[in-house]
Amino acid sequence: MGVSEKSYMMRTVASRGSLVQQLLQVLLFCSLVALLLQQVAAQGSWKVIVENAGIASMHTAITHYNTAVLLDRTDIGPSQLPLPNGVCRNDPDDESSKHDCTAHSALLDLATNTIRPLFVQTDTWCSSGQFRADGTLVQTGGDNDGLSKIRTFAPCPGDGDCNWVETNVPLQNGRWYASNAQLPDGTQIVVGGRGIATLEYVPPNGRGTTYIPLIANANDAQNDNLYPYVHLLPNNQIFIFANQDSLLYDWQTNKVAKNLPVLPGGPRNYPSAGSSALLPLSGFNGWADVEILICGGATYGAFLNPGAALPATQSCGRIAPLSANPGWALENMPLRRNMGELLLLPDRNVFIVNGAANGAQGWGNAQNPVLTPVLYNPNGAPGTRFQTLTATDIPRVYHSTANVLPDGRILIAGSNTHQFYTLTGYLPTELRIEAHTPYYIGAGARPVIANAPGELAYGARFTATVDNGNAKFIDLNLLSAPYSTHSFSQGQRLLQLATSAPAAVGGGSYTVTATAPPTSVIAPSAYYMLFAVSDGFPSVAQWVHIG
C-alpha cells in the first residue's frame, strides 16, 4: 500500500470517527433537550382560559356541579359584565352606583369556560363564606348594606338558572373581613371582622355570640387581626390565629381551651396577609397527626406606609397544636411573599401561589408581584421541602383567588389593588382567568376512578375500582371545596383514607377498599372531591357526599 493510499484510509477513518463523534454529540444534545423539557413539564404550565370574565373575583368557590362561583364587590361601579335582559340593581345605599345594570358575581362553567352573570343585591366586599352539607354556598357579611347580610347560592349545572338569594335573617354582629368554618353540627362558626372581637354561629344554634380576647388583643394600628385563620381540628376544637397569636377554642362550651405560643416573624393576617392551611390528615394513623402551616406575611408598617415597599416575610411556621407542648418550627420559603395562598393538592403536597414580595394588602400597597409558585412537601426533611415551579406572566396580588379544580388543575382569578376597576397602569385590575396545570398532569399515566359510591356514610367501608393504578398502593384522598378570599381558603381540608392493598381485577384495573371518615368532626358533612393517587399521579376527581 502506497503512502497516498495509507493517507486516504487514515483520513477516511478519521472522518468516520468525526461523524460518529458528531452523531454522539447530537444524541447527547437531544437527550439534554428532552430532559430539560421533562423538567419544565414537571414544573407545570399556565393557560388563560377566560380572556375577560367581566369581573375581578375576590371570592371564588368550586361547586359539585363543576362550576366556579365568582364574586366581587357591588360598590365598585359598573363591571364589564352586563346583567341579562335589562335586569338592573337599584340600591339607594350604594356608594358608587345607585342604578347598576352590570353583574358583580358570575358562574364559570369549567367544562366550557363560559361565564354566566349572577345577580347579587347587597355589598359583598371582603365577606366570608362556606359550603353547608347540601352543597349550598353560605355567604356572610360585607360592607355597607351587606354588613349583616347572609346570602345563599344553591348551585346548579353551568346552563342552569341558579342565582343568589338574600335571606331575611341577619348576622347577630355585622362582619367585614371575617372567616367561616363548617362545624360538625351543620352550622358555621363565623369569627371576627373589622371592629368585632366576637364569634357567632350561622344559622344560630342557641350559643349566641362570644367575645374572643385574642381577636381584640391582636388589634394594632394596622388591625392585623382581620380574616383570622380558623380550622376545625380532629379533637372537635377550633384553631384560631390572628396577627401572631393563636388558641384552641371549644365551640361546644364557648370557652378558650388553650392559648398557644406566639409565632415569630411579624403579623400574618390581613392586611399583612400570609396564608394558612391545616396539613393533610390521615386515616392510617387514626387522624392523630395534626399540624398547621402558616407562611408569609408583611413587615409591620407596610400597610401604614405603602410607599416604603417594605419586604414581605419569608418564613413559614409549623405547629402541632394538639401536642403536649406545642411550639412553632420555622423554615424559610425560597421567595419572600405576602398575599400568597396555600392550597392542598390531591397528592398531599402544598401549592403556594399569588402575592407580592413587597408591601401589604390594600389599594396601591403591593409592589414586585411574585410570579413563581412554590411547592411544599410536608413529608420532606427540613431544608428539602420547597421547590420553585414554572412562573406565570400575570401578576396576582390584592383581591386574587386560587382553587383546586376536580381535574387537578389550579384556577387563578382576580387581582385588583385599586378602589375601582383600573384597566391600565401598574398592576391593573385583572379580568383574565387562568389555570395552572401542575407537574402531576401529563407526566405519566393518570389513574381513573372507574367506579366509586357517590354517597359515603361515616365510618363505613366502601370499594372503589381504579384503572391504570399501581399494583402495590393506591391512595384515596378526599379534598373539600373551600371558599378562597384574601389569601385564605376557608374550610380547606384534605383527608387520606385508610385503604387496603389494591386487588387486581384484570385489564389494568384494581379494587381498593377504604374506610370513610369516622365522624363529622373529621369530615363535616359536605361534598368532597375524591381523588385516586397512584405513583404520585392523581386521577380526575369524583364528587362524593359525606354525611
Is there a single domain that holds both residue 165 and residue 95? yes
Which pLDDT belongs to residue 442?
83
- Residue 23 covered by a domain: no
Q: 177-211: per-residue pLDDT in tens? A: 999 999 999 999 999 999 999 999 999 988 899 99
Query: Does residue 374 carry a pLDDT above 50?
Result: yes
Which amino acid does the sequence have at 157? P
User: What is the residue range of 122's domain?
Assistant: 45-437
Beta bridge partners of 256: 249
Per cent of the chain over pLDDT 90 is 85
Residue 77 near residue 57 (C-beta atoms within 8 A): no
- Residue 246 covered by a domain: yes
Instruction: Kindly report the CATH number assigned to the domain that includes residue 522.
Output: 2.60.40.10
Is there a single domain that holds both residue 69 and residue 206? yes
Is there a single domain that holds both residue 395 and residue 253? yes
- Residue 497 covered by a domain: yes
Name the region of 137 (left: φ>0; alpha: ψ -120 to 50; beta: rest). beta
Is there a single domain that holds both residue 326 and residue 193? yes
- Residue 469 covered by a domain: yes
For residue 476, which phi and psi values (nearest 5 degrees)? -120, 115
- Residue 27 covered by a domain: no
Which pLDDT belongs to residue 18?
54
Domain end point (choices 437, 463, 478): 437
For residue 164, which phi and psi values (nearest 5 degrees)? -70, 145
Show the cell assigned to 266.
Answer: 411579624
Which pLDDT belongs to residue 337?
98
Query: Does residue 468 carry a pLDDT above 80?
Result: yes
Q: What is the DSSP string of 55-81?
A: S--SEEEE-TTSEEEEE--SSS---SS
For residues 539 and 511, what is the distance between their CA atoms, to the nearest angstrom?
15
Is there a single domain that holds both residue 516 and residue 538? yes
Coil/strand/helix, residue 42: helix
Q: 502-536: per-residue pLDDT in tens? A: 999 998 999 999 999 999 999 999 999 999 999 88
Residue with the three cell numbers 409549623? 318
For residues 164 and 153, what is the distance between their CA atoms, to the nearest angstrom?
5
Show the cell assigned to 367.
Answer: 409592589
369 CB contacts (<8 Å, ≥6 apart)? Answer: 355, 356, 357, 395, 396, 397, 427
Q: 21-48: per-residue pLDDT in tens? A: 554 454 444 343 333 333 444 699 999 9
Is there a single domain that holds both residue 188 and residue 220? yes
Query: Does residue 306 carry a pLDDT above 50?
Result: yes
The mean predicted confidence, pLDDT, of the chain is 92
Residue with the three cell numbers 380558623? 230
For residues 124 and 74, what is the distance between their CA atoms, to the nearest angstrom?
7
For residues 30 and 397, what is the distance between their CA atoms, to the nearest angstrom?
39
Q: 390-406: per-residue pLDDT in tens? A: 999 999 999 999 999 99
For residues 170 and 155, what is the distance between their CA atoms, to the nearest angstrom?
22
Instruction: Kindly report the CATH number assigned to the domain that includes residue 345.
Output: 2.130.10.80
The stretches of 176-220 forming alpha helices (DSSP H) are: 213-217
Tally the C-alpha atoms within 13 A of residue 306's C-alpha that lie toward its C-beta. Answer: 8
Residue with the three cell numbers 399540624? 291
- Residue 26 covered by a domain: no
Coil/strand/helix, residue 307: helix
Is there a single domain that holds both residue 379 and residue 470? no
**Confidence tier at 471 by pLDDT (50, 70, 90):** confident
Show the cell assigned to 235.
Answer: 379533637
For residues 197 and 228, what is the distance between their CA atoms, to the nearest angstrom?
11
Query: Does residue 16 carry a pLDDT above 90?
Result: no
464 CB contacts (<8 Å, ≥6 apart)? Answer: 449, 451, 452, 476, 511, 512, 514, 530, 532
Residue 228 near residue 246 (C-beta atoms within 8 A): no
Q: 402-426: per-residue pLDDT in tens? A: 999 999 999 999 999 999 999 999 9
Show the cell assigned to 136.
Answer: 349550598
Task: Kindly report whether the global pTM for this prediction surpasses the value 0.85.
Answer: yes
Burial class (CB in 10 A: 0-12, 13-18, 19+), 45: middle
| DSSP assigned state of 146 | G
Domain end point (choices 381, 410, 437): 437
- Residue 39 covered by a domain: no
Is there a single domain that holds both residue 221 and residue 86? yes
The 3-class secondary structure across 164-218, one letter per residue, is EEECCCCCCCCCCCCEEEECCCCCEEEECCCCCCEEEEECCCCCCCEECHHHHHC
For residues 31 and 37, what is the distance between their CA atoms, to the nearest angstrom?
10
For residues 398 and 338, what is the distance between their CA atoms, to the nearest angstrom?
10
Burial class (CB in 10 A: 0-12, 13-18, 19+), 95: middle
The stretches of 300-417 forming alpha helices (DSSP H) are: none
- Residue 413 covered by a domain: yes
Show the cell assigned to 84.
Answer: 341579562
Is there a single domain that holds both residue 106 and residue 243? yes
Is there a single domain that holds both residue 207 and residue 248? yes
How many domains, in total, are found in the chain?
2
468 CB contacts (<8 Å, ≥6 apart)? Answer: 445, 446, 447, 448, 508, 534
Which pLDDT belongs to residue 207?
87
Domain end point (choices 376, 410, 437): 437
Is there a single domain that holds both residue 476 and residue 433? no
Residue 490 near residue 483 (C-beta atoms within 8 A): yes
Is there a single domain that holds both residue 62 and residue 154? yes
Residue 76 near residue 94 (C-beta atoms within 8 A): no
